[in-house]
Amino acid sequence: MLTAGPALTAGPGLGVGLGIARAEPGTSPRAGSGSDSRAGSGSGSGDRPREGHAEDLGSVTTQIATTRARIDELGHQLSVAAEQYNAERIRLAEAERTATTARQRLSAADAAVRTASDRHRGLATSAYRSGGFEQLSILLTGDPRTALDRAGAVNALSRRQRAAESDLRLARHDQTEAKQAADEALAGRQHVVDSLSEQRRGIEASAAEQHQLLDDLIDRQAQLEREAREREAAALRARQAAEAAAAAEAARQAALERERLTREAGLVATAGSTFAAAPVAPAPPPPTGGSGGAARAVQEAHAQLGKPYVWGAEGPDSFDCSGLSQWVWGKAGVAIPHYTGDQWTSGRRVSRAELIPGDLVFFGADLYHVGIYIGDGKMIHAPRTGEVVRIENVWWSSFQGGVRPGA
Protein backbone atom coordinates (compact mmCIF):
# COMPACT_ATOMS: atom_id res chain seq x y z
CA MET A 1 0.00 0.00 0.00
CA LEU A 2 0.99 3.64 -0.21
CA THR A 3 1.64 5.61 2.96
CA ALA A 4 2.41 9.24 3.52
CA GLY A 5 6.09 9.86 4.18
CA PRO A 6 7.09 11.91 7.24
CA ALA A 7 8.02 15.57 6.92
CA LEU A 8 11.73 15.97 6.31
CA THR A 9 13.75 18.93 7.59
CA ALA A 10 17.08 19.45 5.86
CA GLY A 11 19.16 21.37 8.36
CA PRO A 12 18.58 24.79 9.92
CA GLY A 13 16.41 27.16 7.94
CA LEU A 14 15.43 24.69 5.24
CA GLY A 15 12.04 23.54 6.54
CA VAL A 16 11.31 21.22 3.63
CA GLY A 17 8.19 19.12 4.28
CA LEU A 18 7.37 16.20 2.03
CA GLY A 19 3.81 14.96 1.52
CA ILE A 20 4.74 12.57 -1.24
CA ALA A 21 3.44 9.03 -0.81
CA ARG A 22 5.85 6.16 -0.71
CA ALA A 23 5.34 2.48 -1.40
CA GLU A 24 6.20 0.22 1.48
CA PRO A 25 8.39 -2.76 0.55
CA GLY A 26 6.41 -5.73 -0.66
CA THR A 27 3.14 -3.83 -0.96
CA SER A 28 1.33 -1.96 -3.66
CA PRO A 29 -1.95 -0.11 -4.21
CA ARG A 30 -4.88 -2.07 -5.58
CA ALA A 31 -7.90 -1.04 -7.57
CA GLY A 32 -11.19 -1.08 -5.76
CA SER A 33 -9.93 0.36 -2.49
CA GLY A 34 -12.71 1.44 -0.23
CA SER A 35 -10.95 4.67 0.72
CA ASP A 36 -9.20 7.55 -0.95
CA SER A 37 -7.34 6.19 -3.97
CA ARG A 38 -4.55 8.73 -3.69
CA ALA A 39 -1.15 7.95 -2.22
CA GLY A 40 -1.21 8.19 1.52
CA SER A 41 -4.71 6.74 1.85
CA GLY A 42 -3.37 3.86 3.87
CA SER A 43 -5.79 1.43 2.24
CA GLY A 44 -5.52 -0.92 -0.68
CA SER A 45 -8.12 -3.65 -0.38
CA GLY A 46 -8.68 -4.49 -4.04
CA ASP A 47 -7.38 -7.84 -5.30
CA ARG A 48 -6.26 -9.05 -8.68
CA PRO A 49 -8.74 -11.31 -10.50
CA ARG A 50 -8.28 -14.95 -9.45
CA GLU A 51 -9.22 -18.12 -11.26
CA GLY A 52 -12.31 -19.80 -9.87
CA HIS A 53 -13.87 -16.63 -8.50
CA ALA A 54 -17.20 -15.71 -10.03
CA GLU A 55 -16.93 -12.16 -11.25
CA ASP A 56 -19.50 -9.82 -12.67
CA LEU A 57 -18.58 -8.10 -15.90
CA GLY A 58 -19.88 -4.80 -14.56
CA SER A 59 -17.68 -5.15 -11.47
CA VAL A 60 -14.58 -5.76 -13.60
CA THR A 61 -15.46 -2.77 -15.78
CA THR A 62 -15.74 -0.62 -12.63
CA GLN A 63 -12.36 -1.90 -11.41
CA ILE A 64 -10.82 -0.97 -14.77
CA ALA A 65 -12.16 2.58 -14.47
CA THR A 66 -10.90 2.80 -10.87
CA THR A 67 -7.45 1.52 -11.83
CA ARG A 68 -7.16 3.95 -14.73
CA ALA A 69 -8.08 6.79 -12.37
CA ARG A 70 -5.45 5.51 -9.93
CA ILE A 71 -2.82 5.49 -12.70
CA ASP A 72 -3.75 9.07 -13.60
CA GLU A 73 -3.40 10.11 -9.94
CA LEU A 74 -0.02 8.40 -9.64
CA GLY A 75 1.09 10.16 -12.81
CA HIS A 76 0.13 13.47 -11.23
CA GLN A 77 2.00 12.60 -8.03
CA LEU A 78 5.04 11.57 -10.05
CA SER A 79 5.05 14.92 -11.87
CA VAL A 80 4.84 16.80 -8.57
CA ALA A 81 7.61 14.69 -7.02
CA ALA A 82 9.83 15.17 -10.07
CA GLU A 83 9.49 18.95 -9.89
CA GLN A 84 10.19 18.97 -6.15
CA TYR A 85 13.24 16.82 -6.83
CA ASN A 86 14.45 19.29 -9.49
CA ALA A 87 13.94 22.24 -7.12
CA GLU A 88 15.85 20.54 -4.31
CA ARG A 89 18.72 19.69 -6.65
CA ILE A 90 19.07 23.42 -7.43
CA ARG A 91 19.08 24.22 -3.70
CA LEU A 92 21.61 21.42 -3.16
CA ALA A 93 23.93 23.01 -5.73
CA GLU A 94 23.58 26.35 -3.94
CA ALA A 95 24.39 24.69 -0.62
CA GLU A 96 27.45 23.04 -2.16
CA ARG A 97 28.69 26.43 -3.41
CA THR A 98 28.09 27.99 0.02
CA ALA A 99 29.97 25.17 1.74
CA THR A 100 32.87 25.47 -0.72
CA THR A 101 33.10 29.24 -0.11
CA ALA A 102 33.00 28.69 3.66
CA ARG A 103 35.81 26.14 3.43
CA GLN A 104 37.91 28.53 1.34
CA ARG A 105 37.37 31.41 3.80
CA LEU A 106 38.22 29.18 6.73
CA SER A 107 41.41 28.09 4.99
CA ALA A 108 42.37 31.75 4.38
CA ALA A 109 41.62 32.60 8.02
CA ASP A 110 43.82 29.72 9.17
CA ALA A 111 46.65 30.99 6.98
CA ALA A 112 46.29 34.57 8.31
CA VAL A 113 46.34 33.35 11.91
CA ARG A 114 49.45 31.29 11.25
CA THR A 115 51.20 34.27 9.60
CA ALA A 116 50.30 36.61 12.48
CA SER A 117 51.49 34.06 15.01
CA ASP A 118 54.77 33.61 13.16
CA ARG A 119 55.34 37.40 13.09
CA HIS A 120 54.56 37.75 16.77
CA ARG A 121 56.90 34.96 17.70
CA GLY A 122 59.63 36.45 15.47
CA LEU A 123 59.28 39.87 17.04
CA ALA A 124 59.37 38.43 20.55
CA THR A 125 62.43 36.35 19.77
CA SER A 126 64.24 39.29 18.22
CA ALA A 127 63.42 41.54 21.18
CA TYR A 128 64.52 38.91 23.61
CA ARG A 129 67.81 38.26 21.85
CA SER A 130 68.81 41.89 21.32
CA GLY A 131 67.01 43.69 24.10
CA GLY A 132 69.53 42.89 26.89
CA PHE A 133 72.62 44.03 25.00
CA GLU A 134 70.93 47.25 23.85
CA GLN A 135 69.85 48.08 27.40
CA LEU A 136 73.37 47.34 28.72
CA SER A 137 74.83 49.56 26.01
CA ILE A 138 72.46 52.35 26.94
CA LEU A 139 73.38 52.05 30.62
CA LEU A 140 77.08 52.12 29.81
CA THR A 141 76.67 55.18 27.66
CA GLY A 142 74.71 56.87 30.44
CA ASP A 143 71.49 57.47 28.32
CA PRO A 144 68.64 55.74 30.24
CA ARG A 145 65.89 57.82 28.61
CA THR A 146 66.72 56.44 25.20
CA ALA A 147 66.63 52.92 26.62
CA LEU A 148 63.16 53.46 28.08
CA ASP A 149 61.82 54.87 24.82
CA ARG A 150 63.11 51.93 22.88
CA ALA A 151 61.67 49.43 25.37
CA GLY A 152 58.28 51.16 25.23
CA ALA A 153 58.24 50.98 21.45
CA VAL A 154 59.01 47.28 21.50
CA ASN A 155 56.25 46.63 24.04
CA ALA A 156 53.71 48.65 22.03
CA LEU A 157 54.53 46.74 18.86
CA SER A 158 54.18 43.46 20.71
CA ARG A 159 50.75 44.47 22.05
CA ARG A 160 49.55 45.38 18.56
CA GLN A 161 50.74 42.04 17.22
CA ARG A 162 48.93 40.20 19.98
CA ALA A 163 45.73 42.20 19.34
CA ALA A 164 45.91 41.48 15.60
CA GLU A 165 46.46 37.81 16.29
CA SER A 166 43.47 37.77 18.66
CA ASP A 167 41.24 39.39 16.03
CA LEU A 168 42.36 36.83 13.48
CA ARG A 169 41.59 34.01 15.88
CA LEU A 170 38.08 35.41 16.42
CA ALA A 171 37.60 35.66 12.66
CA ARG A 172 38.82 32.09 12.33
CA HIS A 173 36.27 31.02 14.96
CA ASP A 174 33.46 32.75 13.02
CA GLN A 175 34.61 31.11 9.79
CA THR A 176 34.66 27.72 11.51
CA GLU A 177 31.06 28.18 12.65
CA ALA A 178 30.05 29.34 9.16
CA LYS A 179 31.66 26.24 7.64
CA GLN A 180 29.87 23.97 10.10
CA ALA A 181 26.53 25.61 9.30
CA ALA A 182 27.18 25.31 5.57
CA ASP A 183 28.15 21.64 5.94
CA GLU A 184 24.99 20.95 7.95
CA ALA A 185 22.86 22.73 5.33
CA LEU A 186 24.55 20.74 2.59
CA ALA A 187 23.93 17.46 4.42
CA GLY A 188 20.29 18.42 4.97
CA ARG A 189 19.78 19.28 1.32
CA GLN A 190 21.41 16.03 0.28
CA HIS A 191 19.07 14.14 2.61
CA VAL A 192 16.04 15.87 1.06
CA VAL A 193 17.22 15.07 -2.46
CA ASP A 194 17.87 11.43 -1.54
CA SER A 195 14.44 11.15 0.10
CA LEU A 196 12.69 12.66 -2.90
CA SER A 197 14.53 10.29 -5.18
CA GLU A 198 13.36 7.37 -3.05
CA GLN A 199 9.79 8.68 -3.08
CA ARG A 200 9.86 9.01 -6.84
CA ARG A 201 11.06 5.42 -7.23
CA GLY A 202 8.25 4.26 -4.94
CA ILE A 203 5.60 6.06 -7.00
CA GLU A 204 7.07 4.69 -10.23
CA ALA A 205 6.92 1.17 -8.80
CA SER A 206 3.30 1.69 -7.73
CA ALA A 207 2.39 3.00 -11.18
CA ALA A 208 4.06 -0.01 -12.83
CA GLU A 209 2.04 -2.39 -10.67
CA GLN A 210 -1.18 -0.52 -11.41
CA HIS A 211 -0.44 -0.84 -15.14
CA GLN A 212 0.03 -4.58 -14.66
CA LEU A 213 -3.23 -4.75 -12.71
CA LEU A 214 -4.98 -2.86 -15.52
CA ASP A 215 -3.65 -5.36 -18.08
CA ASP A 216 -4.93 -8.24 -15.93
CA LEU A 217 -8.36 -6.63 -15.57
CA ILE A 218 -8.64 -5.98 -19.32
CA ASP A 219 -7.77 -9.63 -20.00
CA ARG A 220 -10.41 -10.69 -17.47
CA GLN A 221 -12.98 -8.39 -19.05
CA ALA A 222 -12.31 -9.92 -22.47
CA GLN A 223 -12.70 -13.41 -20.99
CA LEU A 224 -16.03 -12.54 -19.35
CA GLU A 225 -17.32 -10.97 -22.56
CA ARG A 226 -16.29 -14.07 -24.50
CA GLU A 227 -18.09 -16.31 -21.99
CA ALA A 228 -21.20 -14.12 -22.20
CA ARG A 229 -21.21 -14.41 -26.00
CA GLU A 230 -20.85 -18.18 -25.73
CA ARG A 231 -23.78 -18.39 -23.31
CA GLU A 232 -25.89 -16.22 -25.58
CA ALA A 233 -25.04 -18.39 -28.58
CA ALA A 234 -25.93 -21.54 -26.61
CA ALA A 235 -29.25 -20.01 -25.57
CA LEU A 236 -29.97 -19.06 -29.18
CA ARG A 237 -29.23 -22.61 -30.33
CA ALA A 238 -31.54 -23.95 -27.64
CA ARG A 239 -34.34 -21.60 -28.74
CA GLN A 240 -33.86 -22.55 -32.36
CA ALA A 241 -33.97 -26.23 -31.45
CA ALA A 242 -37.17 -25.67 -29.47
CA GLU A 243 -38.70 -23.74 -32.37
CA ALA A 244 -37.77 -26.50 -34.79
CA ALA A 245 -39.24 -29.13 -32.47
CA ALA A 246 -42.44 -27.10 -32.08
CA ALA A 247 -42.73 -26.64 -35.84
CA ALA A 248 -42.19 -30.38 -36.40
CA GLU A 249 -44.86 -31.17 -33.82
CA ALA A 250 -47.25 -28.73 -35.48
CA ALA A 251 -46.59 -30.36 -38.86
CA ARG A 252 -47.21 -33.81 -37.36
CA GLN A 253 -50.49 -32.68 -35.82
CA ALA A 254 -51.55 -31.15 -39.14
CA ALA A 255 -50.79 -34.40 -40.95
CA LEU A 256 -52.84 -36.36 -38.41
CA GLU A 257 -55.70 -33.92 -38.84
CA ARG A 258 -55.62 -34.30 -42.62
CA GLU A 259 -55.59 -38.08 -42.24
CA ARG A 260 -58.59 -37.92 -39.92
CA LEU A 261 -60.53 -35.72 -42.30
CA THR A 262 -59.72 -38.02 -45.18
CA ARG A 263 -61.01 -41.03 -43.25
CA GLU A 264 -64.18 -39.18 -42.29
CA ALA A 265 -64.76 -38.15 -45.89
CA GLY A 266 -64.41 -41.79 -46.98
CA LEU A 267 -66.90 -42.95 -44.38
CA VAL A 268 -69.39 -40.33 -45.47
CA ALA A 269 -69.06 -41.41 -49.10
CA THR A 270 -69.60 -45.05 -48.17
CA ALA A 271 -72.62 -44.22 -46.06
CA GLY A 272 -74.08 -42.14 -48.90
CA SER A 273 -73.89 -45.01 -51.34
CA THR A 274 -75.48 -47.42 -48.85
CA PHE A 275 -78.23 -45.14 -47.61
CA ALA A 276 -79.05 -42.95 -50.59
CA ALA A 277 -82.18 -41.53 -48.98
CA ALA A 278 -80.43 -40.34 -45.89
CA PRO A 279 -79.12 -36.74 -45.99
CA VAL A 280 -75.38 -36.52 -45.72
CA ALA A 281 -73.90 -33.83 -43.49
CA PRO A 282 -70.96 -32.02 -45.11
CA ALA A 283 -67.54 -32.55 -43.56
CA PRO A 284 -66.51 -29.68 -41.29
CA PRO A 285 -63.90 -27.31 -42.77
CA PRO A 286 -60.36 -27.74 -41.52
CA PRO A 287 -59.49 -25.36 -38.71
CA THR A 288 -57.65 -22.39 -40.03
CA GLY A 289 -55.77 -21.72 -36.80
CA GLY A 290 -53.35 -24.62 -37.30
CA SER A 291 -50.06 -24.75 -39.16
CA GLY A 292 -51.68 -24.01 -42.52
CA GLY A 293 -53.29 -20.82 -41.21
CA ALA A 294 -50.08 -19.79 -39.46
CA ALA A 295 -48.09 -20.22 -42.67
CA ARG A 296 -50.62 -18.09 -44.55
CA ALA A 297 -50.45 -15.42 -41.81
CA VAL A 298 -46.64 -15.30 -42.05
CA GLN A 299 -46.83 -15.12 -45.86
CA GLU A 300 -49.33 -12.29 -45.66
CA ALA A 301 -47.17 -10.45 -43.08
CA HIS A 302 -44.19 -10.54 -45.47
CA ALA A 303 -46.42 -9.08 -48.18
CA GLN A 304 -47.00 -5.96 -46.05
CA LEU A 305 -43.31 -5.10 -45.52
CA GLY A 306 -42.51 -1.47 -46.25
CA LYS A 307 -46.04 -0.16 -45.77
CA PRO A 308 -46.27 2.87 -43.45
CA TYR A 309 -47.47 2.89 -39.86
CA VAL A 310 -50.64 4.95 -39.43
CA TRP A 311 -52.42 5.17 -36.11
CA GLY A 312 -55.70 3.19 -36.21
CA ALA A 313 -55.07 1.85 -39.74
CA GLU A 314 -55.93 -1.78 -40.57
CA GLY A 315 -54.89 -2.03 -44.24
CA PRO A 316 -54.56 -2.51 -47.02
CA ASP A 317 -52.07 0.34 -47.60
CA SER A 318 -51.10 1.22 -44.00
CA PHE A 319 -51.33 -0.35 -40.55
CA ASP A 320 -50.88 0.12 -36.86
CA CYS A 321 -49.56 -2.83 -34.81
CA SER A 322 -52.87 -4.55 -33.96
CA GLY A 323 -54.30 -3.61 -37.35
CA LEU A 324 -51.47 -5.56 -39.04
CA SER A 325 -51.99 -8.67 -36.88
CA GLN A 326 -55.76 -8.49 -37.52
CA TRP A 327 -55.15 -8.22 -41.29
CA VAL A 328 -52.72 -11.13 -41.68
CA TRP A 329 -54.77 -13.55 -39.56
CA GLY A 330 -57.95 -12.43 -41.29
CA LYS A 331 -56.32 -13.46 -44.59
CA ALA A 332 -55.57 -16.82 -42.91
CA GLY A 333 -59.25 -17.25 -42.09
CA VAL A 334 -59.20 -16.32 -38.40
CA ALA A 335 -61.04 -13.15 -37.42
CA ILE A 336 -59.53 -11.29 -34.47
CA PRO A 337 -60.39 -7.82 -33.08
CA HIS A 338 -58.39 -4.67 -33.89
CA TYR A 339 -57.21 -4.29 -30.28
CA THR A 340 -54.24 -5.87 -28.50
CA GLY A 341 -56.25 -6.51 -25.32
CA ASP A 342 -58.81 -8.61 -27.20
CA GLN A 343 -56.18 -10.28 -29.39
CA TRP A 344 -54.47 -11.40 -26.16
CA THR A 345 -57.51 -13.61 -25.48
CA SER A 346 -58.15 -14.69 -29.10
CA GLY A 347 -56.25 -17.99 -28.92
CA ARG A 348 -54.10 -20.30 -26.85
CA ARG A 349 -51.35 -18.71 -24.77
CA VAL A 350 -47.84 -19.92 -25.56
CA SER A 351 -44.53 -19.34 -23.80
CA ARG A 352 -41.34 -18.07 -25.38
CA ALA A 353 -40.06 -21.64 -25.76
CA GLU A 354 -43.31 -22.71 -27.49
CA LEU A 355 -43.39 -19.94 -30.11
CA ILE A 356 -43.75 -21.01 -33.75
CA PRO A 357 -44.05 -18.85 -36.90
CA GLY A 358 -47.43 -17.16 -37.05
CA ASP A 359 -47.91 -16.74 -33.31
CA LEU A 360 -48.63 -13.24 -32.05
CA VAL A 361 -46.05 -11.80 -29.66
CA PHE A 362 -47.16 -9.20 -27.09
CA PHE A 363 -45.09 -6.67 -25.16
CA GLY A 364 -45.43 -4.84 -21.86
CA ALA A 365 -47.69 -5.52 -18.90
CA ASP A 366 -50.25 -3.22 -20.53
CA LEU A 367 -49.94 -5.05 -23.91
CA TYR A 368 -48.91 -1.84 -25.63
CA HIS A 369 -47.59 -3.60 -28.76
CA VAL A 370 -48.04 -6.78 -30.83
CA GLY A 371 -46.11 -8.39 -33.69
CA ILE A 372 -46.20 -11.56 -35.81
CA TYR A 373 -43.49 -14.08 -34.90
CA ILE A 374 -41.67 -15.51 -37.97
CA GLY A 375 -39.06 -17.71 -36.25
CA ASP A 376 -35.36 -17.38 -35.41
CA GLY A 377 -36.10 -14.79 -32.74
CA LYS A 378 -37.58 -12.31 -35.25
CA MET A 379 -40.97 -10.73 -35.87
CA ILE A 380 -42.79 -8.60 -38.44
CA HIS A 381 -44.53 -5.60 -36.94
CA ALA A 382 -45.67 -2.02 -37.51
CA PRO A 383 -43.44 -0.16 -35.01
CA ARG A 384 -44.58 3.43 -34.63
CA THR A 385 -45.52 6.66 -36.40
CA GLY A 386 -42.96 7.65 -39.01
CA GLU A 387 -41.78 4.07 -39.60
CA VAL A 388 -42.85 1.19 -41.84
CA VAL A 389 -43.75 -2.47 -41.42
CA ARG A 390 -40.45 -4.31 -41.00
CA ILE A 391 -38.62 -7.36 -39.69
CA GLU A 392 -36.92 -6.91 -36.33
CA ASN A 393 -35.60 -8.97 -33.42
CA VAL A 394 -38.29 -9.75 -30.86
CA TRP A 395 -38.14 -7.31 -27.96
CA TRP A 396 -37.38 -10.00 -25.39
CA SER A 397 -36.71 -7.49 -22.61
CA SER A 398 -40.40 -6.46 -22.59
CA PHE A 399 -41.89 -9.74 -23.94
CA GLN A 400 -45.17 -10.48 -22.16
CA GLY A 401 -46.22 -13.70 -23.90
CA GLY A 402 -47.46 -15.29 -27.12
CA VAL A 403 -50.90 -16.21 -28.49
CA ARG A 404 -51.75 -18.75 -31.22
CA PRO A 405 -54.95 -17.39 -32.84
CA GLY A 406 -57.72 -19.92 -33.49
CA ALA A 407 -56.06 -22.64 -31.42
Instruction: Report the Cα 292 to chain-centroid distance in Å.
Output: 56
Which pLDDT score is estimated for 144? 64
Which pLDDT score is estimated for 117? 74
Which pLDDT score is estimated for 21? 39
The residues carrying an active-site annotation are 321, 369, 381
Nearest to 190 by CA among 88, 100, 103, 79: 88
CATH of domain 64-224: 1.10.287.620
Which pLDDT score is estimated for 272? 54
> How far is residue 186's CA from residue 10's CA, in Å, rounded to a whole number?
8
Which pLDDT score is estimated for 276? 46
CA end-to-end distance (rounded Å), the chain: 68
Q: For the chain (length 407 residues), average pLDDT per consecutive 10?
A: 38 38 39 38 41 66 92 83 78 86 82 75 61 49 62 72 77 80 84 84 89 92 88 89 85 85 75 49 43 89 95 91 95 94 94 96 93 96 92 95 93
Per-residue model confidence as pLDDT tens digits over 213-244: 999 989 988 988 888 889 889 998 898 888 88
Coil vs helix vs strand at 292: helix
Domain residue spans in the chain? 64-224, 293-405
pTM of the model: 0.37
Distance set, CA 353 to CA 231, 320, 347, 370, 376 (Å):
17, 27, 17, 18, 12
- Helices and strands in the chain, H and E counts: 5, 8
Backbone angles phi, psi at 31, to 5 degrees: -70, 155
Distance set, CA 77 to CA 18, 28, 73, 83, 209 (Å):
12, 15, 6, 10, 15
Residue 254 · residue 262 · CB < 8 Å: no
Domain 293-405 adopts which CATH fold? endopeptidase fold (from Nostoc punctiforme) (3.90.1720)
> How far is residue 11's CA from residue 180's CA, in Å, rounded to a whole number?
11
Instruction: Report the Cα 345 to chain-centroid distance in Å.
Output: 51
Backbone angles phi, psi at 355, to 5 degrees: -60, 135
152-155: long-range contacts (C-beta < 8 A, 24 or more apart)? Answer: 154/127
Per-residue model confidence as pLDDT tens digits over 99-140: 898 788 878 878 877 887 777 666 666 655 555 445 445 544
Instruction: Report the Cα 29 to chain-centroid distance in Å.
Output: 14
Same fold, 64-224 and 293-405: no
Taking the alpha carbons of 268, 271, 275, 276 in that order, is the dihedral positive or negative? positive
Nearest to 21 by CA among 67, 64, 76, 63: 76
